[in-house]
Amino acid sequence: MSLEAENPVFLREVRIGFAGRVIQEEMTFAIENGEFIAVLGPNGAGKTTLLKLLLGLVRPEAGEVWVFGRKPRRGNPAIGYAPQFRTLDTNFGVRARDLVGFGLDGHRFGPGFPSRKRRELIDRVIEEVGAAGYAEAPVGELSGGERQKLSLAQVLISNPGLVLLDEPLANLDMAAAREIIGLVGRLRVSRRVAVMLVTHDINPLLPHIDRVLYLANGRSAIGAPQSVITRETLSSLYNHPVDVVEAMGKKFVLGVET
Amino acid sequence: MFHSIIALYRFEFLQNALLSGIFIALAASVVGYFLIEGGYTFAGHALPNIGFAGAAGAVFFGVRPVYGLFVMTILAAAAINAGGREPRERDVAIGVVMTFALGLGLMFLSLYGGYAERVYSILFGTVLGITRSDVIFTAIMSLVSVCLVLVMFRPLLFIMFDPFVAEAKGVPVRLLTLMFLMIVAVTVSLAVQVVGSLLVFTLLVGPGATASRLTSGPCRAILISAMLGVAYMVAGVSLAGLSGDWPVSFFIASISFLVYMPVRMFFRKKGRLAALPQKVLHEHVPRGIVNTGENWKKTEARC
């Protein structure tokens, strides 16, 4: 096994499909410890499927996948995952701290008697994401931004080395999105976790991320934002002319539906 | 009044009814909480109806109705689990299976053509004819059901609340859902014998629905649900005994309704009085923010 395979994520020549259709081919890249990666691309390009591949919920059709030097497997404690479009039932009688607690021992059997240690662990991580003000509130009554913070707390409480966030910024206004991004940026430094964050808008992430993984048209490109989000790279990915315009310090991709 | 209730329980059949009722109520209200929170209330309505078909079939074939109940509800639980995870799709499948079963039940009834009393008691329940061995059987099955639910407590709650993360965390989602539905089937089969298949739903859903309005932590909600369920049952059996020949299920359904209505009206949000948050919202909290830390610290309580 090469040294690269010890990385949080290492893919070699991976092909993934969905419903009998190839959605990504020849994916080869490694993600290093503590790296912050933004995952971009149009709908259906395979962003969520890629995360599911790492979680062991989807198998590759070809190629090798390594997560911390091991094959992906369900229930891997080294990964923290927050899915897209969570159908968190607003009528569900669960408090914020219960939601975070699921991340700690939700998968364990037994009634789970309360203990001081458990409570302190939950309190600490809730404090860390700045959600202490509503730790006891029913989840159904929290705003999108508040839920995202709790989602992060739920992910972090098991001390993962790799965090997969699938569109955590969807349905958030700009201020809330910035707050979440800033939080993720700080936490990945303080906890030295690698983060893969799926998003549609790269701009608010630009000051925080190390690299961009861009999926489109069955293929992918990875690298620094200034080398990936360019007219040349994206045009060759999409296989038709795409323009990247910079205005007011932001990048805008023209000619495709992102 | 109190003396006459005590006097009632000199009758052994009422003692038996009360004891089985308490165990049934305990299991039904604990299981019912998960039914409500997991969005399985329609399954909770369908299983007893399907059980009715099983009981009617058993009567037709000349075996004890309880065997028919167990067989049909457990088969139906497996079918419901196979029906998919998406609630709408699942509910349609449940509806189709349930109406088929009801049709089957009706056919057994018309073919049977015998004395309708047994069928009537399956539909509406009875406190008569419960023997000591029935009580022991019911107690063991109910306690086993409750214990299994407690063992599966955390992963089950996780599945109900957040199935995708639960799956990623390695929770065997399908298997546990199947086991849970099997437990529901067993509970329903036990409860049908006392409260009848048409009104089991009240015992399954009434206490849990009221409890999850009153509080917001799962452990507390389950405790309150169990206490309410047992209280409804004790009151129901006692009132049925006092009134002579009025059915238990009528009293339980009425009490459950009379408790749920005011709770529903006054506790709009989970675990809080309706009037409270409005006031707090206008006085202290800027627009757009619903909760502040202070607001929640006050209602803090742990499970």
In a domain, A143, yes or no: yes
Check: CB of residue A150 under 8 Å from CB of residue B161.
no
Q: pLDDT truncated to tens, each residue of chain A (258 aa)?
A: 455 668 999 999 999 988 788 888 899 999 999 999 999 888 888 899 999 999 999 999 999 999 998 999 988 889 999 987 666 555 667 888 888 888 888 888 887 777 888 888 899 999 888 888 888 888 888 888 888 899 999 999 999 999 999 998 888 888 889 999 999 999 999 989 999 999 988 888 888 999 999 898 888 889 988 888 888 888 888 888 888 888 877 888 887 754
pLDDT tens, residue by residue, B240-283: 888 877 788 889 999 999 999 999 888 765 554 544 444 333 33
Query: Residue B284 pLDDT more than 70?
Result: no
Q: How far apart are CA B33 and CA B205, in angstroms?
A: 7
Q: Is residue B253 part of a domain?
A: no
SS3 state at B167: helix
Q: What percent of chain B has pLDDT over 90?
A: 43
Q: What is the DSSP letter of A13?
A: E
| Local structure of A20: helix, strand or coil | coil
Burial tier of A176 (Cβ tally within 10 Å: 0-12, 13-18, 19+): middle
Closest chain B C-alpha to A6 CA, distance in angstroms: 21
Which chain A residues touch B if contact means CB-CB below 8 Å? 55, 57, 73-76, 79, 81-83, 86, 88-89, 91-95, 98-99, 102-103, 105-112, 114, 119, 132-138, 140-143, 146, 154
The boundaries of the domain holding residue B160 are 11-200
Q: Where among B185, B200, B215 does a domain terminate? A: B200
Helix (H, G, I), strand (E, B) or coil at A35: coil
Are residue B176 and residue B296 in the same domain, yes or no? no
Which of A163-167, B45-49, B160-164 is predicted least confidently? B160-164
Question: Per the CB < 8 Å rule, is B291 touching A119?
Answer: no
Q: B289 or B167: whose pLDDT is higher?
A: B167
Which residues, in sequence order, are CB contacts of A94 under 8 Å at separation 6+? A138, A139, B157, B161, B216, B217, B218
- For A148, the domain range is 85-159
Cα–Cα distance for residue pair A36/A184, rounded to 1 Å: 9
By C-alpha distance, which of A235, A258, A195, A203 is closest to A41? A258
B284: left (phi over 0), alpha (psi -120 to 50) or beta: alpha
CATH of the domain at B123: 1.10.3470.10
Q: Tell me which chain B residues have a C-beta less than 8 angstroms from the C-beta of A108.
A: 154-155
Write the burial class of residue A251 (CB in 10 Å: 0-12 exposed, 13-18 middle, 19+ buried).
Answer: middle
Tokens of A232: 């040349």
**Residues B58, B156 share a domain:** yes
Domain C-terminal end among B200, B228, B248:
B200
Q: Is B153 on the interface with A (CB under 8 A)?
A: yes
ipTM of the complex: 0.84
Which residues are CB-neighbours of A162 under 8 A, at least 6 positions away?
Answer: A8, A9, A31, A54, A67, A68, A78, A79, A80, A193, A194, A195, A196
pLDDT of amino acid B38: 84
A120 occurs within a structural domain: yes
Of B200, B218, B252, the residue at which a domain comes to its end is B200
Q: How far is CA A235 from the centre of its chain?
A: 25
Q: Considering only CA atoms, which of B168, B58, B61, B43 is closest in space to residue B97?
A: B43
Distance of CA B60 to the CA centre of its chain: 27
Given this model, what pLDDT does residue A154 score?
Answer: 92
pLDDT at B302: 44
